[in-house]
Every structure is written in structure tokens, then in C-alpha cells.
Amino acid sequence: MEILMSILAGTLFAAGVYLILQKQLLKIVLGTALLSHGAHLFILTMGKLNRGAPPILEKGIKIYTDPLPQALILTSIVISFGVTSFLLVLAYRTYQSNKTDMMDQLRGTDDE
Amino acid sequence: MMSNLVFLPIFIPLFFGVLLVFFNKKRKFTITTSFFVVLLSLGISIFLTYYVFTDGPLVLETGGWSAPYGIVLVADQLSVIMILAVNIIAAAAAIFALTSVTEKMIHHYFYPLFFLLIAGVSGAFLTGDLFNLFVFFEVLLMASYGLIIIGGSKHQFRESVKYILLNLFSSILFVTTVAFLYSVVGTVNMAQLGERVAEVEQQGILTGIAILLFIVFATKGALFPLYFWLPKSYIVPSPIVSALFGALLTKVGVYSMLRVFTLIFSHKLELTHTFFIWVATLTMIIGVIGALSTSNVKLIIAYNIMPAIGFMLLGIGTFSAESIAGTIYYLVHDMAIKAALFFLVGLLAWHAGTSNLQKMGGYIKTAPLMGWMFFIASLVLAGIPPFSGFIGKYLLLRGAMDEGHYIAAGVGLLSSLLILFSVIRIFIGAFWGELKEDPQQKVKSSGLTASAILLAISIVLGVGAEWFYPYIQAAADSLIDPQIYIDFVLKE
């Protein structure tokens, strides 16, 4: 199961990196979204996947789910959700004011 | 009971930042409150500093969960020095805001974002948990995303998209690295990380993770070769925002490196820290080349952030008690002087109506006070004795020489000279000679007051080095021996 999850996270990372190397702004934003999904899955996998075990550590209990990665992911998901929605609005406004969404035309010069 | 004090430098700006969201149409109330808040947190941070240096470090275990399980906030010597510096910058910025923050900016939530930025930066300095450090990074970055686009001009959007995308990418990398570290060491508490990494003597995989973390902090701190997003994105917003970014944001990256590479990853010095010295050297070179390459006054100052970061990294790379003390000294000095320079350059650009140096000239007649303040600021920046830049550089370079890093030290000396040249060029070009164009605006006195306060602090830091040095040295000593930090956080 861990191997499958790792491959999935890796695939998301690869697709995300491919997308952020594109020139179109919207694709880059989607790329960052995929990257953060990959990162979240990765955190989950790193805490070891146990099914049907409670997230409690007491004496005598051998199998338990590690609650920490879940707490970390929850925090991280909320943050990336906020940032992505902000980025989408920003990308739209940038497109409106600069009349282009291609990164190579968003370069600018020194004297402004 | 006293340990709750640690929470206040985060809580006060956070609380009032949220509160002021509801009063964005009330200019007077907002400004009065902002002064109240910065003075309150300045007072608390002074008390906190006093307390930590007399009674020892404070640890707050949030929610009553003891150290390795809960999230801890730690106020040790380094943290309180940084908190004090942040609050001084915030107070100066609140004064400068009187000149530069327009009605429109207040409507667009300048003050709430300003306080959230301060809360995020303070949190990053106080946290004792690596994942929590990421969270506070995000808090301050979110605030900075808001601040950088206030005004909404065409080139602001263009540059802020790059700024945000790059910071977002490095944040994702940060989370991934924390996950790696968690899977190898099984904790995210910094003290426990330090203990466990020391136990296994930082094996290969941990050094790999250390370098990943270095890449994350290097992106935030604008080190070579990850600096390219910085200069342009720092000059597009309003001068006060540039000053806050230049003074605080990159320094959080440096602080994180200082913390992580003394406390946790300090067992393979020949690999990581030697690498840092080369990166530091290249950063200094590229930074001064950038500063000399342009005639946009704001861009010159923005490029000057980089050599300063290079100097600080040189201190971390050298890793002796003296060089770490130098890094801390330089960190505090640089926060004050970068804010002052961004303020002055902002005032200059308003006064001249342009930021192109070639269109300026002779403003010493119309704004003499600003001109001489800029001159002093240039000397402070370059590290001319007796100002504060000299003390920091002296410690750093002597530390580097003692450890045999002659090339890095030589480049450091040369780059100081070129830094002086790059800023004096502004002084000569903008203030000397015949008046080329009539000034557009009068220089406002509150802007000059804010710069004067910060300049006075850098001068006091330099002239009174003997008074401050013992405290800086105490902070450096506690960093060089990570066991001190580990013991008082984990209470063993």
C-alpha cells in the first residue's frame, strides 16, 4: 500500500512539475495545486498506513495509527486551499491588467 | 505563568490585525490603534528580552502538552533579540506609514495585513516546532501576498505573480521535506530532532534532507542561485511595504537557517557548512554586480539585500562562536538599516517623481536633511567604523579568517567596497550637482523621523557595541552548544 501511494504521489509531483514549467499562467496555478496534493499524500504515506487501528498510543497496544501526519495534512490542506484560491484570483487580475497570461510576456524592464 | 508571556508577541498583532479588518473605513481610529499596538508589543518585547536575559529562556507548552508531543513556543536569547528587532522595525514602520499610507491603502486593509505580517514573523522566531515554522511562514507569506498587491498597478500584478509562485513552490518543498524528516526521525519538535539527529550522527539521508531544507530557506532568503525573484518584486509595492519585506522577510529565512543548522544539522560540517561558504561567496558577488548594474535607485537597494544575506550565511558556514555572534549582530543591524534605506529611497523617489537615477540631481538643496541621512545610511550599510555594519562584518570576517576561509573573507571585503560604491553612487547622482528637475513633492517629516530612529539605532549598535556584545555573545554561545536548547525544551 505504501508503495502504491508513493508512486501516486510521485506521479502527482511529476505532473505538477511539468505543469509549472509551462508558459500559461493558469497551467502553472494548476501545477502548484497538483504539487501540493502530491505533498499531502506523501505526508500521509510517511506516517505509515495502518487500517483499522486507533490513533491512540497506550501501553500494550502494538498497532496504532500515527495521528500526527493527519494533523499536519489538515493544516497543510487548509493553507494550500487558501493560497490556491488567492492565486486564481490574482492570475485573473494579472491577465486583465497586463492583457496576457503568458509568462514570457510578463517580463518587464528596469525603468518603470 | 510567566511562560504565557512568550505568546504575547504573536497574539497582540494577530488579535489587533483581525480586529482592524472591521474598521478599514475609519482612518483615524485605525492609525491610533496601530500606534497603540506597536507600542504595546514593543513594551512587551523589551520586557521579554529583559526577562530572558536575567532569568533564562522561557518555554510555553501550548495546551499543556509537554514538549515532544505538543507544540512548543521557545523564547531563548536569539529569539528574543529577533523579536525585539522586529518590534522596533514595526514601530518605525508605523511612523513612516503616516506619510506613505494613503486613504485607499487603508481601505484595502493595509494595517490588518501589516499586523498579520508582524504576527507571522514573530511566530517564526518563537516556534520550537519545525512544522509550526512552516505554518508561521505561511502566515507571513499570506500577509505579504496581500501587501505586495495593494495599489493594484499593472507591474505590481506582474511581479507579485512570480513572487507568489516561487514562494508557494518553496513552501510545498518545505512540507515535503518535513515529511521526509518525520519518516526518518519520527518527530517534528526541533529539540527532539536535534537530539535524535545527534544520536545517529546525521547519516547520509539526513544530510540529504538538510540540503533540501537549505534549498527551502535559501529560496526564502534569496541566496545564489535562487535570488532572481527578489529584486524586482521588492520594488513594485509602496515603499513601506518594500521596507518591511527587505527588513523582515529574507531575515526569517536566515534565522531559520541559523536555527536549523546549529541545533539540528551540525554534525557534518565539512559537507553542509563548507557548501554554505561557497554559496555565501557567490551570493555576495552576484548581489553587488546586480546593485552596480542598474540606475533604478530602488533596485540598487533591493540588490543590496543579497550581499548582506551572503555575509550572514558566511557566519553560519564558518560555525564558530565568534562568527555566529557576528551573524546575529549583522542580522539585527541589517534589519534596521535595510528598513531605513528603503524608507529613504522611497522618500527620494517621491521627492524626485522618478526612481531613475539619471533624471535626478541636486536635491541636497531642496532636501538637505534627507541627503545627509542617506549619506550616513550608506556608510552604515558599507560597514565604515564606528557604525554597526563594521562590528558585524569585523566579527564575521575575523571568524572566517580564523577558520582559514580566506577567499570568502577577501570577497567579503571587496564586496563591502562595491556596496559602498553602489550606494554612494545614489548619493552623488541624486544629491550633488545642479538641480535637474524641480522636486515633485516635499519630503514629509514623519518619513524622515522613522528613518532617523532606525539610523540612530544602527549608530548606537555600532558605537555602543561593548554594551550589546555580551548579549549577542550569550545568544551565540547557546546556539553553538545545542544541548542547552535541547535540555530546557525537553526538561531533562
A57 falls within a domain: no
Subunit contact A93:B157, Cβ cutoff 8 A: yes
Subunit contact A42:B179, Cβ cutoff 8 A: yes
A110 falls within a domain: no
Confidence of residue A103 (pLDDT cuts 50, 70, 90): confident
Confidence of residue B465 (pLDDT cuts 50, 70, 90): confident
Residue A30 structural domain: 2-52+62-104
A37 falls within a domain: yes
Alpha-carbon distance of B207 to B213, in angstroms, equals: 10
What number of residues does chain B have? 492
Statement: residue A13 has pLDDT above 70:
yes
- What average pLDDT does the structure give for chain B? 90
| pLDDT value at residue B140 | 93
Cβ–Cβ under 8 Å, residues B132 and A79: no
Could you tell me the CATH number of the domain that includes residue A99?
1.10.287.3510
Cis, peptide link before residue B225, omega less than 30° from 0: yes
User: Per-residue pLDDT tens for B49-58?
Assistant: 999 999 888 8
Mean pLDDT, range B462-478, rounded to an integer:
90
Reference B90, options B37, B138, B51, B32; nearest CA is B37
Domain count, chain A: 1
Q: Chain A partners of B135 at a C-beta cutoff of 8 Å?
A: 75, 79
A10 falls within a domain: yes
Alpha-carbon distance of B323 to B397, in angstroms, equals: 8
A28 falls within a domain: yes
Q: By the CB < 8 Å criterion, does A21 face chain B?
A: no
Max CA separation in chain A (angstroms): 69
User: Which residue shows C-alpha cell 487603508?
Assistant: B106
A20 falls within a domain: yes
Please measure the distance between the N-terminal and C-terminal CA atoms of chain A and give it in whole angstroms.
55
| pLDDT value at residue B1 | 64
Alpha-carbon distance of B11 to B57, in angstroms, equals: 19
Cβ–Cβ under 8 Å, residues B36 and B138: no
Angle at B205 between CA B200 and CA B209, to 5 degrees: 105
Cβ–Cβ under 8 Å, residues B324 and B316: yes
Percent of chain B whose pLDDT exceeds 90: 61
The predicted complex's ipTM stands at 0.93
Confidence of residue B61 (pLDDT cuts 50, 70, 90): confident
User: Per-residue pLDDT tens for B153-187?
Assistant: 888 898 899 999 999 999 999 999 999 999 898 88
Cis, peptide link before residue B68, omega less than 30° from 0: no
Percent of chain B whose pLDDT exceeds 70: 99
User: Per-residue pLDDT tens for B254-291?
Assistant: 999 999 999 998 888 888 888 999 999 999 999 999 99
Statement: residue A2 has pLDDT above 90:
no
Statement: residue B412 has pLDDT above 60:
yes
> What are B306's three cell numbers?
543579497
Alpha-carbon distance of B87 to B118, in angstroms, equals: 8
Could you tell me how many CB contacts below 8 A there are between chain A and chain B? 94
Statement: residue B194 has pLDDT above 80:
yes
User: Per-residue pLDDT tens for B35-53?
Assistant: 999 999 999 999 999 999 9
Q: By the CB < 8 Å criterion, does A94 face chain B?
A: yes
Q: By the CB < 8 Å criterion, does A34 face chain B?
A: no
Q: By the CB < 8 Å criterion, does A20 face chain B?
A: yes
Long-range contacts of residues B193-198, Cβ cutoff 8 Å, at least 24 apart: B193/B130, B193/B263, B193/B264, B194/B263, B194/B264, B194/B482, B194/B485, B194/B486, B195/B486, B195/B490, B197/B264, B197/B265, B197/B267, B198/B267, B198/B482
A88 falls within a domain: yes
Q: By the CB < 8 Å criterion, does A24 face chain B?
A: no
Statement: residue A111 has pLDDT above 80:
no
User: Per-residue pLDDT tens for B212-253?
Assistant: 999 999 999 889 888 888 988 898 999 999 999 999 999 999
A100 falls within a domain: yes
User: Per-residue pLDDT tens for B100-148?
Assistant: 888 888 889 999 999 999 999 999 999 999 999 999 999 999 999 999 9
Statement: residue A110 has pLDDT above 60:
no
| pLDDT value at residue A54 | 74
Mean pLDDT, range A55-75, rounded to an integer:
80
Long-range contacts of residues B440-446, Cβ cutoff 8 Å, at least 24 apart: B440/B350, B440/B351, B440/B352, B440/B353, B441/B350, B441/B351, B441/B353, B442/B351, B443/B347, B443/B350, B443/B351, B443/B367, B443/B369, B443/B370, B444/B98, B444/B99, B444/B347, B446/B95, B446/B96, B446/B98, B446/B99
Task: State the best of B132, B142, B169 to mutate against chain A, taking most chain A CBs within 10 Å.
Answer: B169
B292: helix, coil or strand?
helix
